[in-house]
Amino acid sequence: MGIGDWGLGIGPNPQSPIPNPQSPIPNRFKYFVIILKSTKKIYSLKIIINKHKKMAEDEDDINYDEPEEVYSDPDDDNNKNQGENYEILSPQVLDKERNQKIEEFIQISDLPKSQAELVLMNNNWNIDILMNDWYDKMQKIKENSGICQTKESIKQLNEYLKKNKIEKGMCPVCYTDIDPGDGLNLGCGHEFCTECFKEHLKERMNDQLTLLGTKCPMKNCNFQVPSEIFKKLFKDDKNELNIYNKCLMRNFTESNADIKLCPNPKCDKIIKLPGHGMFDIKCECGTIFCFKCLKESHRPCDCFMMEIWEKKSKGDENENTKWLLINTKQCPNCKKHIEKNQGCNHMTCRKEAGGCGYEFCWICLGEWKPHGTSYFNCTRANPNILRKNEEKIKNIKSEMERYDKSFTAYKDEENALKFAKKLKDTIDLYKKVLIEKKGQTEMDFIFLDEALKTVIECHQILGNTYVFGYYMKKNSKNNSLYELNQEMLRREADLLHERLEMRYLADILSINEKEKFDKEFISYKEKVNSLISTTNKFKGNILEDIDKHIY
């Protein structure tokens, strides 16, 4: 479609009321109306302003000229963690949307449904591109989509069939006669018995990445197996059918940046997030993950930051090089690394340790002979070079100490998170006993579920704040404020975590007198609720400041 096919207007939707020019809503909330002349359709790309209207009613001092931002990775402008504007869809809803695309393409291509589906699956479900190329490149598209033979496949098939004479009505795999009505073929003319065809597909189930590209069992045949064949043969095999359906959904979602499958292999939910980008998703199955990278939630860090942190924490070659620079020097003769742990400046690259026997000065790395008896003082070294080398090593050492401190704190929170997740079974057990023995109800323990949820979320966020802190600008004037907020969140999260441990619940359970039990339970509940409130407050403070680039 050429540039001349488009018309662009800026301003309100012509079907909407004209906004009051005196309206306090700023210019950055205007939206575009793009008119597609060729179809006479109007597409409105609106920025939702309702939330900001409400904020303006609540607070008069909001500065609309300061856009909310978060630390962004170099390749992503859509990584805001604002507002839960995503949808959790069932497979049935996505399947309906998928079928609508197939029907739309059938109208364009005049292909049967099974073939239209294969063409879309092999072309990223991009109907616009297919529309432009269909009549000019129809044969090539069909060949690449596995709904017809290529010249090469026809040639190879003919050669194969000449060498292997297969009688009509006989399965080419098991060489038994195919019962009338029992054979399967894809329109390519190669017929197989149902049992052999199904076995062929079962073998392909082991490789889910290429499962949808499964072709006819006949060697060199280009025809691809459509979904209707899979579904027909595995209608009574729930596990295999689930695997195949998940592959179908993944193929469809991968072509749409706004739709992704929940990464939990036991969950079949689909997440739809208009505008995509980096965003924490809380699926109905309980999985919390980043929409962009599908990994465990890593807020306040972005995906790029976590990627480089993970590489660094695995102890790559760069970290080993830094250690060698700080703790060793290379022999000037054979370049072997030597560590000096004591003694004078007279160094020998020992042959028994794999060295060359060369003798040199540790300070200037020159040959030892001219130094004579100056074992502890080197007068031959250039002071400027020595000073620069010392400064370089000092900086590397300081950076490594920072990393070690951050990594230790990160691992501490990671371990605390593991322990917190294990608390669920303990809490559930005590809830059950308290209900049976003390007459409590499920409603009495909602605060415990909320507390555990808060603890888990805070340990996860805290671990990531140490990663974020490591990559912050050094000597920032707000570093101290960041560390203070971080410490306050850690303290409150640890106190709340402690209150959920077995000893507190066991002490309450051991009280036999009802009046005393009720009093202690209410007191415990109030303390836990208070800690939930303060912990969430500090969590919100640090995340809000990061989002606003305070640090």
Helices (H), strands (E): how many in the chain?
16, 14
Segment 476-499 mean pLDDT: 90
* CA separation for the pair 153, 159 (Å, rounded): 10
Cα 263–Cα 236–Cα 218 angle in degrees, nearest 5: 85
* CA separation for the pair 205, 247 (Å, rounded): 10
pLDDT per residue over 540-549, tens digit each? 999 998 888 8
Report the candidate in 349, 351, 346 with the shortest Cα–Cα distance to residue 363. Answer: 346
Reading the block at residue 121, the tokens are: 């699956």
How far is residue 144 from each of residues 213, 219, 241, 244, measured CA to CA in Å? 11, 17, 25, 21
pLDDT per residue over 282-337, tens digit each? 898 888 899 989 998 999 999 999 999 988 887 655 566 677 777 788 898 888 88
User: Average pLDDT of the chain?
Assistant: 80
Q: How many CA atoms lie within 13 A of 170 on its CB side?
A: 10
CB 118 within 8 A of CB 146: yes
pLDDT band of residue 120 (cuts 50, 70, 90) is very high
pLDDT per residue over 419-459, tens digit each? 999 999 989 998 888 888 888 888 999 999 999 999 999 99
pTM for this prediction? 0.64
pLDDT per residue over 76-110, tens digit each? 433 444 445 888 988 889 899 999 999 999 998 99
Measured between its terminal Cα atoms, the distance across the chain in Å is 46
The residue ranges of every structural domain in the chain are 3-67, 91-272, 331-381, 400-547
Whether the per-residue pLDDT at 131 is higher than 80: the answer is yes
Which CATH number fits the domain 400-547, given the four candidates 1.20.120.1750, 3.40.50.300, 2.30.40.10, 3.90.1580.10?
Answer: 1.20.120.1750
In the DSSP assignment, the letter for residue 474 is T
Whether the per-residue pLDDT at 349 is higher than 60: the answer is yes
Report the candidate in 201, 279, 287 with the shortest Cα–Cα distance to residue 244. Answer: 201
pLDDT per residue over 170-207, tens digit each? 888 888 888 877 888 888 888 899 999 999 999 999 88
Residues 391-411 as b/e (b if ≥16 CB within 10 A, e otherwise) read eeeeeeeeeeeebeebbebbe
Beta strands in 311-464 (DSSP E): 328-330, 337-339, 346-348, 359-361
Q: Is the peptide bond before 180 cis (omega within 30 degrees of 0)?
A: no
* CA separation for the pair 131, 123 (Å, rounded): 12
Whether the per-residue pLDDT at 466 is higher than 60: the answer is yes
Give the DSSP H/E element, type plus range, for residue 10: strand 6-10
